[in-house]
A and B are shown apart, each in its own frame.
Chain A
Amino acid sequence: MSVMSIVEALNTALVEEMRRDERVFCLGEDISDANGGYGGAWAVTRGLHDEFGAQRVLNTPISEILIAGASVGAAMAGMRPVADLQYGDFIFCMMDQLVNQAAKMCYMSGGKVHVPMVLRAPVGASTRGAQHAQSLEGFFTHVPGLKIVCPATAYDAKGLLKSAIRDDNPVIVFEHKLLYGGKRVERDALSTKGEVPEDDYTVPFGEAVVRREGSDITIVANLLMMYRALEAAEELEKQGISCEVIDPRTLVPFDYQTVINSLRKTKRLMIVHEDTYTNGWGAQLGSYIAEHEIYLLDAPIKRVATYDVPIPFAPVMENFVVPSVKRIIDEANQLMKA
């Protein structure tokens, strides 16, 4: 067991998988640290070049269509590419390759072709303005054929990335900039250092985890919002409101059962995400519960999400639009009165 940040855990997962399977390789912009390179915009691929060389730690031109398309092609032809995006927002430059190609190839071929590729994409507001900030998870949950993963702890980062690399389908791993815990200093970053086993474990897709047990409200929250929900739960406990906090860990497939089990106890559901409100992934979860388990509920479902605006630059505005601990507490109090 060693204690490490999410960056270190992701790096460890890549190293172990590349050692285990020579079909695994990384590609992306500035991912190599040879000759003074970055080793990835968030240093996740630092050190890989020394062990695996330029072909398996492949620096690409600034060409997102190429990165995604080459990943699709390499995956179809027997490799296991792990593509790296510097900022999740750049994903829109490669939309055709993800949505029309990666996600549909297996289906269009009648199951004869498969696309075992991984795309890692950092999300989350971090005072960089609207084009380096978006939380994209909801977008991609709407694409049949993709799997969507969002690790919030170092343990999950290693275990989920390994599962993603071993999965036979295209997987997008959304990582949060303020949770990386790398050397790059970020305002409002959280320390995510945690215990990570040294052995070769994986975290299966479709298994949510209860991060805190409680009896009054079930809060489902991912990535940074999971930590804010935990902080809010701490404060709410002092006010006499007991919150159960669930981290879904993967959005596709989604573990509805863990949420339902929790609701049998709490009868109240709050969903917190940094994705924007309208048709964020919480809309699906809320609808699902309303559709299948509405009689479990004693109160309307509460969604706490980023307001429906692009992410503004000024910290005072950014802090306002993204759900804060205070907003979660206020909404929880409202929910208890409902």
Chain B
Amino acid sequence: MKLPKQEKALSMYRSMQMIRKYEERIYYLFLEGAMPGSIHQSHGQEACAVGLLHDLKKGDYMASTHRPAGHDLAMGVSLKSMFSEMFGKKNGCCSGKGGAMHTGDIEVGAVPANAIVGGNIPIAVGMAMSCKMRNTDNVVISFFGDGATNEGSFHEGLNGAAIWDLPVVFVCENNQYGASTSIKASVKIDNLSDRAAAYGMPGVTVDGNDVLAVQKAAEAAIKRAREGKGPTFLELKTYRIAGHSRSDACAYRDDDEEKEWFSRDPINLFRNVLLESGIKESELDAIDTELDEEIEEAVEFARNSPDPLPEDALTDVYWKGAR
């Protein structure tokens, strides 16, 4: 696979590593009992987020799921506002009202993440409708998991986007399990992308742990959308490192399967590609160290941020204007 220019390659590496380090830090903060709620972590799926989102432009939108951190960070939602939201702090990206499953920041095109499986799909169609009606060449990326492909919203949303040739890319991160249930027990087909044909749109299955493969497929799908040729369905086969949520120890996954997937860790894969291309290990290590510092700084910022007032719970039910 052709490597992007060095500067971009390093930027992609940085973005993937930021997600990994963020999720690892979150995991330990939860173990410490420092954060309320639950977590649905995205590490292991960094190539999907970065491959799709690295090259978006202003005015594009991204809609995510209950597992949104990777997508949000790749869109440019700040580490400080992400950690603060996880702590339930007032200056979190959703003012403490959203929490782990609703992070996002419309300022960078990341709409509040959606914790209803398949819930964002028809919404993404509507956003794409807006992009088209306003005569922009902006696109919408709708992420969902394998489990969402059996929701009615998936069917209605993909069909609608197809008949109206809307600029949306439907991205199924097939991490093999909907909570504890194998996708093999949920559908009768091997490749979920086969379903695209039923809606009259291209469907492609890609190795979701190979960021360059993801990016290549994303480029084609986004180009098609920008040119007004309609939606594409991408199935990215991948694997989550953690369980479905905080308390899930993955008893339903067998050791050989885990070993096989973990041997193809998306960050290691990309790091090796970069090293083979001549980038120095010290350069990558420097990025890692810098990220560690940024993350610690963001965690401290979040810890020291003010809590919302209890009464803040009573505002924002209805919109009071731009802030």
Question: Residues of A at under 8 Å CB distance from B?
Answer: 25, 55-56, 58, 60-61, 63-66, 68-79, 81, 96-97, 100-101, 105-116, 144-145, 147, 168-169
In the assembled complex, B9 has its CB within 8 A of some CB on chain A: no
- Decide yes or no whether B230 CB sits under 8 A from chain A: no
> Closest Cβ of chain A: how far from B152's Cβ, in Å?
6
Asked if residues B159 and A73 are in contact (CB atoms below 8 Å), the reply is: no
How many positions in chain B have a CB within 8 Å of any CB in the partner chain?
49
Q: How many Å lie between the Cα of A69 and that of B121 in the bound state?
A: 8
Q: Is the CB of A101 within 8 A of B116?
A: yes
The answer to whether B122 touches A113 (Cβ under 8 A) is: no
Check if A69 sits within 8 Å of B123, measured CB to CB.
yes
A31 to B128, CA, bound (A): 21
Q: For the complex, is B184 an interface residue (Cβ under 8 Å from A)?
A: no
Indicate if B12 sits at the interface (CB-CB under 8 A).
no
Given contacts A68-B122, A69-B125, A76-B126, are A100 and B116 in contact (CB under 8 A)?
yes
- Measured in the bound complex, the distance between the Cα atoms of B130 and A55 in whole Å is 11
A68 to B112, CA, bound (A): 17
Nearest residue, chain A, Cβ from B158: A66
Which residues of chain A are near B321, meaning CB under 8 Å?
Answer: 168
B122 touches A70 (CB 8 A): yes
- Find out whether the CB atom of B106 lies under 8 angstroms from the CB atom of A70: no
Taking a contact as CB atoms under 8 Å apart, the answer to whether A79 and B129 are in contact is yes
Interface residues in B301-323 by Cβ distance below 8 A to A read 315-321, 323
Q: Which residues of B contact A116 (CB under 8 A)?
A: 319
Is B17's beta carbon under 8 Å from chain A?
A: no
Q: Chain B residue with minimal CB distance to A253?
A: B318
- Which residues of the other chain, A, contact B164 by a CB distance below 8 angstroms? 58
Please judge, given known A-B contacts A77-B126, A112-B105, whether A96 and B318 are in contact too, CB under 8 Å.
Answer: no
Question: A72 → chain B, closest Cβ, in Å?
Answer: 5
Are the CB atoms of B126 and A105 closer together than 8 Å?
no
> In the bound complex, do residue B318 and residue A169 qualify as a contact, i.e. CB atoms below 8 Å apart?
yes
Q: Are B122 and A66 closer than 8 Å at their CB atoms?
A: yes
By a CB distance below 8 angstroms, the chain A residues around B107 are 112
Segment from B30-38, B91-99, B271-279 that makes contact with A: B91-99
Chain B contacts to A: CB under 8 angstroms: 61, 63, 92-98, 102, 104-107, 111-112, 114, 116, 119, 121-131, 133-134, 140, 152-153, 156-157, 159-160, 163-164, 315-321, 323
Whether B130 pairs with A109 at a CB distance below 8 angstroms is no
Closest chain A residue to B312 by CB distance? Answer: A110
What's the count of A-B pairs with C-beta under 8 Å? 148
Q: List 22 A-B contacts (CB under 8 A).
A: A55-B133, A61-B159, A66-B125, A69-B123, A73-B63, A73-B123, A73-B130, A77-B127, A101-B114, A101-B116, A105-B112, A106-B316, A106-B317, A106-B318, A109-B98, A109-B104, A109-B111, A112-B94, A112-B107, A113-B106, A144-B317, A145-B318
Q: Kindly list chain B residues whose C-beta atoms are within 8 Å of the C-beta of A70.
A: 122-123, 125-126, 129, 160
> For residue A108, which residues in chain B have a CB less than 8 angstroms away from its CB?
94, 97-98, 102, 112
Asked if A109 meets B122 with Cβ closer than 8 Å, knowing A61-B160, A66-B156, the reply is no
Partner of A63, one of B126, B130, B156: B156
State the CA gap A175–B257 with chains docked (Å): 57
Given contacts A65-B152, A72-B122, 20 further A-B contacts (CB under 8 A): A25-B133, A55-B133, A61-B159, A66-B156, A69-B153, A70-B126, A71-B126, A77-B61, A79-B129, A97-B153, A101-B123, A107-B97, A109-B94, A110-B92, A111-B315, A111-B316, A113-B106, A113-B112, A147-B318, A169-B319
Other-chain contact of B130, A77, A97, A105 (Cβ < 8 Å):
A77
**C-alpha spacing A77/B138, complex, angstroms:** 11
CB distance from B10 to the nearest CB of A (A): 31
The answer, among B131, B152, B163, for a CB contact under 8 Å with A77, is: B131
**CB of B163, distance to nearest CB on chain A (Å):** 7
Q: Is the CB of A110 within 8 A of B98?
A: yes
Q: How far is the CA of A301 from the CA of B215 in the complex (A)?
A: 66
Query: Which residue among B107, B112, B315, B321 has the maximum number of chain A CB atoms within 10 Å of its CB?
Result: B112
Query: Are A73 and B119 also in contact (CB < 8 A) when A101-B114, A109-B104 are?
Result: no
Q: Which residue of A lies closest to B316 (CB)?
A: A111
Residue in chain B with minimal CB distance to A107: B316
Which A residues lie within 8 Å of B159 (CB)? 61, 63, 66
A58 to B107, CA, bound (A): 29
Q: Are A72 and B123 in contact (CB under 8 A)?
A: yes
Q: Kindly state the separation between the CA atoms of A169 and B123 in the bound complex, as whole angstroms.
A: 16
